[in-house]
Structures are given as structure tokens and as C-alpha cells.
Structure 1
Amino acid sequence: MLTVAEVTKSYGGKVLFDSVTTSFDPGKRYGLTGANGAGKSTFMKILAGELDPDTGSVNRPPRSRLSVLHQDHYKHEEDRILDVVIMGNARLWQAMQEKDKLLQIDDMTDAVGMKLGELEITIGEENGYEAEVEAEQLLEGLGIEKEFHDQPLQVLGGGMRLRVLLAQALFGRPDILLLDEPTNHLDIDSIRWLEDFLHNYQGVLVVISHDRHFLNEVCTHTADVDYENIFTYTGAYDDMLRQKIRYRISQEKQNATKQKKISELKEFIQRFGANAKKASQAQSRRRAIEKISLTDLKRSNIQRPFIRFEPKSTSGKLVLHLEHVGKSFEDEVVLSDINMTITRGSKIAVVGPNGIGKTTLLKCIAGVYEPDRGKVRLGHEVTVGYMPQDHEEGLGDTNKTAFEWLYQWDEKATVEEIRGLLGRMLFP
């Protein structure tokens, strides 16, 4: 069990958590949810021991092993990929490294022999003789082909390196597993594999994800960050949302009923408070008002962004036509003879394994890349909006305010239009 006792944390005067007490039990899989900025990642760091709370404590059983999904894929650039995964079990990795050093000693003394025996016991306890087999299975499940396993991490791109770090977190079946956005950079097949893996995991799992389907598929419980506290619900994300909305509506109705009663009592007091014959009744109603307590309903994170795509002008029926489109990078052919016609109103998902050319196709359509062969034709009155995978690529100058940044894309937009859009996306 992972227990949290009276944890409080603030940043710059903003209270994220106020005396939070909760627990996470083995065999249960918790989705940690909440609005952006509510403190999910901060709470995860507190659970991991990477960040101290202002007050309170986090406790876990002695000798239990906690594993965290790290995001620093530059740390192990020169290490063999299999070794990076095995490093997920620090006790095992340390024993294996120490054993290798001792075996290099020419003068094998009794003390060295005794130490080697102790290390062999540790390696056996941590299932070290199956370590490489387990690491290979994790890597292959996450889409890292076997030909890369003995190579240094630096041969992989950033997204694939993060998969290796995910395999590192999963390695050795830790007692407590903390995953912050594990599905980033995973393709559909790898996500499904991860879902199956976590279904069979028996320890404490706490996971943050913006993938609603993933949370619904994996989680047995939901720990929701709201009202400067954490509330645990039985069930996955959609179950939590239904329970939370029902509770909020119930409390609002109770408050409305109480408020109506208070108004009726106040009206009686106002009408008859000066009447000597009804003074005792008026006093009785004043006492009744004092006994009625309204529930303090703080602003909730139930609010959701409102997104609606409204073209400024109606396009022709034919929106996009790709004719024999091809694209290569050096000697690698990424797209070959792509033909496609898209009509107005279509909603299309581009799917496929990583590296197959999905992003290249979108960049050709958006005009970021010029096809080597073929043509991309836009229909009448068609404009293209493009959100790149790399946010830095799309943001450009980040010194602007959110208002200024949006305004640069449409200088004809009114202040009301831009502020309305920001409001719908929950910008304060």
C-alpha cells in the first residue's frame, strides 16, 4: 500500500493540495485525473519522492520497489538498450555491475569469493538470470525490434527512446508503478500491448494519461484532483465522471432547496418581525436559519473545453486531391504513388506503425513538405490548418501572450472572437 497523509503543496501562492490524505492499494490500477494545472504531475513527483510536500508525508512498505517512468532520454545515450531496461531494477543492476567488476580481479581471495556468493544470491532473488529475456520481451512488445537491443540508445529517435524508458519502468514487476503519460509516442499496437501488460500487473499502479480510452481500458479506480484535494472513485474515467456529475448536481439541488427555505424564513421575519404577537415565531425562524448550512461548492474541474470547427467560408464539394504523390528522404522512400480524394465533411484518421509516413503525408498536404513526385491539389475556397506533432515547431515565438499569438494567424479577427475562443478552451 502507498499511503498519503495530510499532504499540502503550494506554488507561488496557489494551493494545489490542502491536507490530502488517501491511499493506493495493491492490485488496483488508479488513473490520476484533473484539469491541466491542477497538480497531477506534481502529485506524481511527491509520490515518487522526487518532490517534497510542504507538509505531510508519503509512506510505502519497507523493501518495496517503486518504479517511475522517466522522460530524460539523453541520460543513457551511450548505454546498451537492453542494459537501460535492466537498470529499471536498481538492486539487480548494481549487483550485476559489482559482480562483473569482481570477476575482473586476478587475485580471487576468500573475501572476494564470499562477496560473489552474496551477489549471486541477490541476482537470483531479483530473477537476474532471466533479466535479458524479460527485457527483450518488453522491448519487442513496445515495438523496438531485436536488431537494436544490443546497440546504444543513441541509435534510436526521441520517441523510440521514450519507449525504452517505458520498458525500463515496467521491468522486473515493481511493487509500485508510477506512469506519467505512458502512451506518448506509442502507436496503436504498442498501446494495446501496454493495456494487456497492465491488466496482468498485480502491484499498485498510478497513471496519468490524456488518452480517455486508455484510462477506461486499464483503470479499476480513479483518483481525481479537484477542490485542492484528491477524491478516489471506483471505476475508470467515464465511471468517475458520471459519479462526480451526479454528486455535484445533488449538492447543487440540496443547496437550492436550502436557499429557498432560508428565503421563506427571512420573508416571514421581515413581515412579522416587528409584530409583538409573532415575535417568538420570528425568533424561532432566526434560529432555524442559523441551523441551515449550505455546502461550499468550489469551482470544479468538470468544465470541458468546447471545440467546434467552423470554416469562415464554405468550400467546394471537392476538398483535397492527391495524385501519384511520392516523397523520399535521401535513399529512403517514405511515400509512393499516393492517390486520394477527400470531399467536404469527411473526417479521416491516418493510422499505421511509427515510421510508416503518416506525418510526412500530413506535411505534404499542409504544404510543409513539397512532394518529390505527384501533386497535392486543394479545392475551391479550401484553407489548411495544421497542428504539428512537435509543439515547438508550431508555437514559434513563445514570448507573445495567448491573445497575441492567436491574433497573428488572423488579423481580421475581432477581440471578442479571440477572447471567446480562449474562453472555450478554458483559458482564464
Structure 2
Amino acid sequence: MITINGVTKAFGAKTLFENVSVQFTPQRRYGLTGPNGAGKSTFMKILQGDEDPNRGSVSVPKKIGILRQDQFRYNDVRIIDTVLMGNKTLWAALEERDKLYAEENLTDEMGLRLGELEGIIADENGYVAEQEAAELLQGIGIEESQHTELMNVLPNDLKFRVLLAQALFGGPEALLLDEPTNYLDLQSIHWLEETLINYSGTLVVISHDRHFLNSVCTHIADIDYETIIIYTGNYDDMVSAKTQSRGKIESENRDKQKKIAQLQEFVARFGAGTRSSQTQSRVKEIKRLEPTELKKSNIQRPYIRFEQKRPSGREVMVVKGISKSYPQNDGTTLKVIDDFSMTVTRGEKIGIIGNNGLGKTTLLQMFVGQLAPDGGTIETGHEATTGYFPQDYKQGIAPGMTAFAWLQSFSKEEGVEILRGLLGKMLFGGDSALKQTDTLSGGEAARLIMAKLMLEQNNVLVLDEPTNHLDLEAVSALAQALEKYQGTAIVVSHDRDLISQVATRIIALTDEGIADFAGTYEEYLDALKTDKPIARPKKIAATR
């Protein structure tokens, strides 16, 4: 159990939460929600012991699993050992035991200590620990052949997965996970959902993935109005209950205000007259009817709307037989895209899905001209203009500038008012527009790129994982904007709700190749279950 008692946290004049007392109990899975800036990550750091509250106390179990974000800390550690380190007691015992066994002359005292250590290792299931760690790694897509390699051989997204396995390892009494679905593909997200649903301890998780929260969570701890309120049910249940609760209070306050106005009119008319006792009674009634104070919500919703200066021709892009390969360290060549063809027509909303490493980003980079295919051609249609949201979008924002100056560098004739208006819609109001680009958070950087796309008014949008680091309100705003967009959109995303809401055509990258399906995401899933005809992929293999 995790117990929070009278916790307050503020930064300067801004109070995130005040005098909060809540309990997170075993066998319950809590989603920690709230808009960017509400204090989710700060509250999680307090639970982890990485940050102190201004007031109050926190009690957590001794054995706790934490998803760390420091991917580079374990660069010189074997991958499987990084996972084993998730059980600190076991890892300390294993290290001490190995040092003692390395001694040439064991003393009696050392022998006794070895016996104690073997007991600790047995209590912590240490003799099957490597097998359990290997199963976790395989579940999140780390091949067995890599388990004994050093962490520094992995790209950052796979390092993050190893840290997720570390948090899950060793049967922790409580799990604290901050954005665990970042860098996970759909298959790994499904695996994580199943793992967490079967977890019997206390789970507290932050995620911008609404589908994930709805699948996993039994309760939602929502940070808003400078407090934390726990709702029973998943994310959608919380939104409904929160809306109803606030609506009820607002309705009651309106009724109270109406009644107060009537009573005040009576008091004003007869206050000094013969009905003084009735007047006093009504004054007391006015005090009793004091409306319930409603603190201002922290929720801020960006306004995203993509326009196009002019429509493209009917054929937006014609792809003919493109291929792309990458050389491997062992001398082989990995062909990720092989003889792929497609025609994109005006107004299509294409969702590109598939596990990591199968070439989704490579495909988009070829579409926008950042990568040249090894073979085949890509022809851009008449009047087609493309706006691109890269997966590593923060690297595309020049440092040493204000957000306003960076956006202005893409402006041709738009004045200050238009640029300020765009930034305001993306929650860069007032002095926020003068924030240095070096200091932008992931969510702020993503919203700044969105402002650029809105400014450019392209008729084709190519978006690579645009929901990473966006809060749920921004993800919802993006989905609605793409739905209403009159141009053509090609979107890579692991956010199932976004793909489900937006896509009218699915391109699925699989181990066997690329499948092209004309229909929605749900229709695609149904077709897989019922063996309905899909443009089936060809087998792709590594070639020497």
C-alpha cells in the first residue's frame, strides 16, 4: 500500500496540489492523469522518493519497481544484468556471493556469509531469476541472442524497454511507471497490458495512451483543482464522472444564486420594517446557501486546425517498387523495404502500423525526400505540398531562439498577431511565446511543431509518432483536427485510438512484409480474424 498524508507541493506561487491525503491499495491499478503542467511527474517523483513535498508524508512498500528514464546509466552493464538489478536485494546478494567465490582462500567467516547469501538468493527466487528476466525481455521484444550483450549496443528505444523490464522484475509490491508505452510497438503494448492486468500489487501509471488506460486501470487518480481525486473505473469512466460531478455542482450553484437573489431582494425591501424577524431568518438562509467554491481547472486544451492553401491533384503520391536496405555489423544487409508500391489519392487518411524496427520511419523519410530509396521511384503529385512531423522532432527545433522567433523563421507574410494567435492556440500565450527553444519540454516542442504545420497550410501531412509526449487533451485535439482536415494525412502511430479515429486506410508492416488494407483499423483487425482478403505482404529476409 502507498499512503499519502497531507502532501502539498508548490513551485513559487504555483500550487500543484495542496493537503492531499490518498491511499493506493494492492490489487488496484491507478492511472495518474491530468494535463501537462498539472504535476503528474512531480507527484510520481515524490512517490519514488526523488523529490520532497513542501509538507506532508509519503509511505511506500519496501520492494518497489520504478521505471527510470536514465537509459545511459547502464551502458557498460549486460542487458540481462540490468533487468536483475531491478531486485536490489537479490542483485546485492549475487554480487557479494560472486566476490566471495572468487576468493582463493575462503575463511570460516566467509563460508558462513556464503550460506547466508545463498539463503537470501533462494528467498528472492534467485535460482530462476535469469529465466524470469529473459522472459520479460522477450515479452518486450529484446531477442534472446542480445541478452548477454552490453546495454550500449542498443538504440535508445530498446534501452527504455530494458528499463521497463527492470521495473517489472522481482515481484515488486508496488509499481510506479511513467509513460511505459513510449517506444513500445503495438505487440509490446499488448504484452504489457496483459502483464499489468495480471499484476497483484499496487500499480500507479502515467500514460497519454487512452486505450492503454482504459484496458489496464481499475481506478484513476486525477490531478486537477490543486488536489487529487480518485475515481473508480477506467479513464473514460473518470471523464464521465468528473464532468457529471462538476456539472452537478455548477447547477446547484446556479440554483443557490437564484434563491439568494430572491432572499436579498426581500431583505432589501423589508430590512428596516416590521418584518425584522423574517428578515433575519432570510439573512441566515443566505449564509447557509453560500455556493460551493469551484477552483479553476488546470486543463488546457490546444486548438489544432490544419488548413490547406490549395488542394493537391487527385494523385498525391505514386510509389513504384521502392526498396531500402541497411548494412549490418556482421556483414549482412537488412532489407527493410522490398519492392513496395502504392498510390496515395487526395483526401486519404493513411495509418501506418507495425512493430518497431520494421521500417515505418524509413518509409516516411523516403516519402518526404529525407532518404533516397535503393531502387524504385516516388513521384509527388501535382500541387502537392508536404508538412512533416519527424519522430525526433526536438532535433528539428533550432536552439538559442525563442518559440516565437523560431516560428517566425517559417513565416512569409504573416504578421506578429497571426503568429501570436497560432502560438496561443498551442498554449504558448503571453510570455510563454518567449520561452527558449532549448528549455522546451517534449510536449511543448511537439505543440510548437504543430503550430508550424498550421502556419504552412500544406495539403499533405506526414506525421511520425505525433502523440509521443502529448497529454490526453492534446492527443484528442490532434485526432479531431486530422478528422476534419480536408487534405491528405499519412500517420505512423502506436496510439490505437488515434489510428482508429482517423485512418481510412491501413498500411501494416509485418515480419512478412507490407500489407495494404482499404478500410478502418477496426475493419483491418476484423479482416485478420476472419481471413478476409487483404493485400498480403511478401516475405522479407536479411540478405548477405
Alignment TM-score, normalising by the size of structure 1 = 0.94
Partner of 1:26: 26
Q: Which residue of 1 aligns with 2:356?
A: 354
**Displacement of 1:205:** 0.4
Could you tell me which amino acid in structure 2 is paired with residue 109 of structure 1? T
Match of 2:123 among 98, 122, 125: 125
Q: 1:47 to 1:406 in 2, by over 3 A?
A: same
2:323 & 2:90 partners in 1: Cα distance?
49
- Classify 1:263/1:423 alpha carbon distance in 2 versus 1 (closer, same or farther; 3 Å): farther
What CA deviation, in whole Å up to 9, does each residue of 1:127-156 have, x standing for no partner?
000000001000000000011011111111
Distance 1:2 1:280 in 2: 54
Q: State the Cα distance separating 1:378 from its structure 2 match.
A: 2.3
- Whole-angstrom CA distance in 2 between matches of 1:414 and 1:284: 61
Structure 2 match to 1:395: 397
> How far did residue 227 of structure 1 move?
1.1
Q: Name the counterpart of 1:76.
A: 74
- What is the CA deviation profile of residues 367-415 of structure 1, one whole-angstrom value per residue up to 9, with x for unaligned ones? 22233333222223322111111132232235213x3333333333354
Secondary structure class of the residue paired with 1:230: strand
1:309 is aligned to: 306
Give, in angstroms, the shift of residue 272 of structure 1: 4.7
Of residues 32-41 and 386-395 in structure 1, the stretch that sits farther from structure 2 once superposed is 386-395
Give the structure 1 partner of residue 183 of structure 2: 185
Q: How does 1:38-187 map to 2 (within 5 A)?
A: 38-61=38-61, 64-187=62-185
Q: Are the aligned partners of 1:234 and 1:240 in contact in 2 as well (CA < 8 Å)?
A: yes
2:208 is matched with 210
In structure 2, how many angstroms separate the alpha carbons of the residues matched to 1:192 and 1:303?
30
Q: SS at 2:336's partner residue?
A: strand
Asked if 2 retains the 8 angstrom alpha-carbon contact of 1:387 and 1:394, the reply is: no
Secondary structure in 2 matching 1:107: coil
Aligned partners of 1:88 and 1:172 also within 8 Å: yes
Partner of 1:349: helix, strand, or coil?
A: strand
- Name the residue aligned to 2:459: none
Residue 305 of structure 2 aligns with an amino acid whose one-letter code is: R
Q: Distance in 2 between matches of 1:415 and 1:317?
A: 35
Q: Retained in 1: the 8 A contact 2:33–2:220?
A: yes
Distance 1:70 1:406 in 2: 33
- Match of 2:352, SS state, is coil
Deviations 1:99-133 (A, max 9, x none): 00111112222111110000000000000000000
Aligned-partner residue type, residue 344 of structure 2: I
Matched residue, 2:375 = 373
CA shift digits 1:150-187 (9 cap, x unpaired): 11111111101111111111001100110001111111
CA shift digits 1:190-211 (9 cap, x unpaired): 0000001001110010000111
Q: Please state whether the residue corresponding to 2:387 is helix, strand or coil.
A: coil
Separation of aligned partners in 1, 2:177 and 2:400: 29
Helix, strand or coil for the counterpart of 1:215? helix
Q: Is the 8 A contact 2:398 2:406 kept in 1?
A: no
Query: SS of 1:385's equivalent?
Result: strand
For residue 286 of structure 1, the aligned residue among 265, 283, 286 is: 283
Aligned to 2:337: 335
What is the alpha-carbon distance in structure 1 between the residues aligned to residue 30 and residue 289 of structure 2? 37
More displaced 10-residue stretch of structure 1: 104-113 or 404-413: 404-413
| Match in the other structure for 1:198 | 196
Q: CA deviation at 1:28?
A: 0.3
How far has the Cα of 1:278 moved from its partner? Answer: 4.7
Query: Contact 2:47–2:60 at 8 Å: present in 1 too?
Result: no
C-alpha contact 2:19 2:56 (8 A) present in aligned 1: yes
- 1:421: how far off? 3.6
Unaligned runs of 5+ in 1: none
Amino acid at match of 1:259: Q
Tell me, which stretches of 5 or more residues in structure 2 are unaligned? 328-332, 430-544
Contact 1:30 1:207 in 2 (8 A): yes
2: distance between equivalents of 1:265 and 1:422?
A: 47
Amino acid at match of 1:58: V
Contact 2:66 2:175 in 1 (8 A): yes
**How high is the sequence identity, in percent, across the aligned residues?**
53
Amino acid at match of 1:341: T
State the one-letter code of the partner of 1:153: M
Residue 391 of structure 1 aligns with an amino acid whose one-letter code is: Y
1:331-370 CA distance string (max 9 Å, x none): 4433222211111221111112211110011111122223
Structure-2 separation of matches of 1:92 and 1:425: 48
Does the alignment pair 1:323 with 2:320?
yes
Aligned CA RMSD, in angstroms, stands at 1.8
Equivalence for 1:425: 426
- Match of residue 467 from structure 2: none
Bigger drift between 327-336 and 241-250 goes to 327-336
Q: Shift of the alpha carbon at 1:416? A: 4.8
Structure 1 residues 236-291: Cα deviation after superposition (integer angstroms, max 9, x where no partner): 111101000000111111111111112222333444556x3455544443332222
SS in 2 for 1:348: strand
- Residue aligning to 2:249: 251
Separation (CA, whole Å) in 2 of partners of 1:253 and 1:398: 49
Change (3 A) 1:292 1:54: same
